[in-house]
Amino acid sequence: MAKLAIIGGTGLNKMSDFHVIRREVVHTPFGEPSAALTHGVLTDNEVIFLPRHGPAHNIPPHKVNYRANLWALKHIGVDRVIGVAAVGGISAEMSPGRVIIPDQIIDYTYGRDHTLFEYDLNQVTHIDFTQPYCEQLRKRLIVAGITTGQNIADTGTYGVTQGPRLETAKEISRMERDGCDLVGMTGMPETSLARELDLCYASCAVVANWAAGKGDQPISMEEIEKNLLVGMRNVRALLENLLQTSQT
């Protein structure tokens, strides 16, 4: 049976009816993943959960071992991955608390290990990244969001910055001119590595705050936490509906 994995924060552990079966430690050629892989059952479907920033949420975005994370999931038989991420809203419609299923991505990161194809190659390997996300999985997420009554955004361009600092107002202005609708720090190379491993990958982004210069007030952790509380509740409802209505 196909296996679905969710990469994200601790919110999954609070999903109703998510029963943890076991935790599996996987060693990879690229080092250690962020955490042991948590096998569980949700709505009668097997789900594997991986906390991107570690169990204690102490791995910053630029230090996440994205290669190990994706390789470990592929190694245990996962073929579909949903990457849940907190982002900042740039476009006017990307308001705090809203859930976005992006369809495009722009990479502003640097210095990250961004490919599996480096050593001992028989030939140089390229991937087609014209459409970075798995459209089949994107559509399923969109339908699940609509079914649960959410004002879900079914399109958007995710601009990925290096972090861990937040951006300046002028950087956000540049990203807006580039066509970015939202900004986050973990979308790349997670998305492209999934493509290299032939994994069906889609992003489920929660707007935690207005990006720099887009809101009336300075960005605060209190605001972010408040918006994530609402947004992650919607994500959990979306994921539960997705699993209830179709087989993974």
pLDDT tens per residue across span 224-242: 888 888 888 899 889 989 9
What is the distance between the alpha carbons of residues 232 and 238, in angstroms, rounded to a whole number?
Answer: 10
Q: What is the mean pLDDT of residues 99-115?
A: 96
Q: Known binder of ligand: residue 185?
A: yes
What is the distance between the alpha carbons of residues 222 and 228, in angstroms, rounded to a whole number?
Answer: 10
pLDDT at residue number 248: 47
Amino acid letter, 139:
K
- The two three-digit tokens of residue 124, written as one number: 């140089």
155-184: b (≥16 Cβ within 10 Å) or e: ebbbbbbbbeeebeeebbbebbeeebbbbb
| CATH number reported for the structural domain that contains residue 145 in this entry | 3.40.50.1580
Q: Known binder of ligand: residue 94?
A: no
Q: Known binder of ligand: residue 10?
A: yes
Q: Which residues pair with 82 in a beta bridge?
A: 6, 202
41, pLDDT greater than 70: yes
Residue 129's domain comprises 3-245
Q: Known binder of ligand: residue 15?
A: no
pTM of the predicted structure, to 2 decimals: 0.93
Amino acid letter, 131:
Q
Report the number of distinct structural domains present in the chain. Answer: 1
160, pLDDT greater than 80: yes
Name the helix (H) or strand (E) containing 24: strand 19-24
- Among 102-106, 146-150, 156-160, 226-230, the least confident range: 226-230
What is the distance between the alpha carbons of residues 114 and 7, in angstroms, rounded to a whole number?
Answer: 17
What is the distance between the alpha carbons of residues 62 and 146, in angstroms, rounded to a whole number?
Answer: 33
Q: Known binder of ligand: residue 130?
A: no
- Among 14-23, 81-90, 135-144, 150-159, the least confident range: 14-23
Neighbours of 132 (CB within 10 A): 23
Q: What is the mean pLDDT of residues 175-190?
A: 97
DSSP code of residue 31:
B
Q: Known binder of ligand: residue 211?
A: yes
